[in-house]
Amino acid sequence: MQHIMTVLRQPGVTTKTSNKLFAQFASANSEELTKEEFDSLQAYLRMSWGLDLSGSEQIAGALQRWRWRANAAKGTQGLPLWPLAQEDFLDAFPSLLRAVRDWYVPLGAGIHRSLFIRQSEASLGDKYLKGPSLGRGTYGEFCLVTSRITQEKRVCKRVSRRSQRVPSEELESEVNMLRGIDHPHIIRIFEFFEEEEYIEMIMEPVLGGTLTRLVQGLYCDPDGDPFDSRPKALSEGWVAT
């Protein structure tokens, strides 16, 4: 699904993929695709994309619907269906991809945001200006970064692959977990970078301070000296806020 979404978002990739598939399965020097050749192409997509039989059938159905509409527009009453010229296959290819997409992600079900949160092909320095350090946690260090394109402020969490506190499986699990969560009260991840020694996650900034610092502020002044009077208890409403 991630591959299909990527191709559909980039017309140049759609054209390149379509032409590559056509050249791979059409007879040598042929400018048309026969039904038998298309069946081979369909079987290849089913295997390489991991489609089930129903998902694969969506490709054939989408092509038939597209072909009938295209031919009807030319006044041929929807016929003939075969052979398929390369130009026609190029025009039909996005419809085939959308048919598979809509089969696995039905209309109204929503497209999972994890499809759009991917490992960046560039380096962190290519996309972000590094700012001040925001501190260090149990599993990594944090710094403020600024997008070179949008000037948005974000936070980079860098975790060492060699840290004995974080097995590599747990690192991958955290990235995948954050990619799949979409909730206003849970921090979002935008993208991530993988280096030889680190994984760097770009996350939304939450700059209100830590809960520990906030609670300490109820009991002590900025110098750490305790107040003469302390709150009797932390109310549920205060904690929720």
The verdict on 93 and 13 lying in the same domain is yes
Residue 150 lies in a domain: yes
The verdict on 8 and 80 lying in the same domain is yes
Residue 176: CB atoms within 10 Å: 11
The predicted-structure confidence for 17-48, as pLDDT tens digits, reads as follows 889 999 999 988 788 889 899 899 989 988 88
The verdict on 6 and 107 lying in the same domain is yes
The verdict on 106 and 140 lying in the same domain is no
> Could you tell me if residue 142 is left (phi over 0), alpha (psi between -120 and 50 degrees) or otherwise beta?
beta
What lies within 8 Å, CB to CB, of 69 at 6+ separation is: 78
The verdict on 89 and 179 lying in the same domain is no
Residue 15 pLDDT > 60: yes
Residue 195 lies in a domain: yes
pTM assigned to the model? 0.44
How many domains would you assign to the chain?
2
The verdict on 101 and 142 lying in the same domain is no
Tell me the C-alpha distance between 118 and 35, whole Å.
37
Q: Domain range spanning residue 53? A: 2-111
Pairing mode, strands 32-33 and 189-194? unpaired
23-45 core/surface letters (b: 16 or more CB in 10 A; e: else): eebbeeeeeebeeebbeebbeeb
Residue 128 lies in a domain: yes
Tell me the C-alpha distance between 41 and 59, whole Å.
10
Q: What is the pLDDT of residue 130?
A: 93
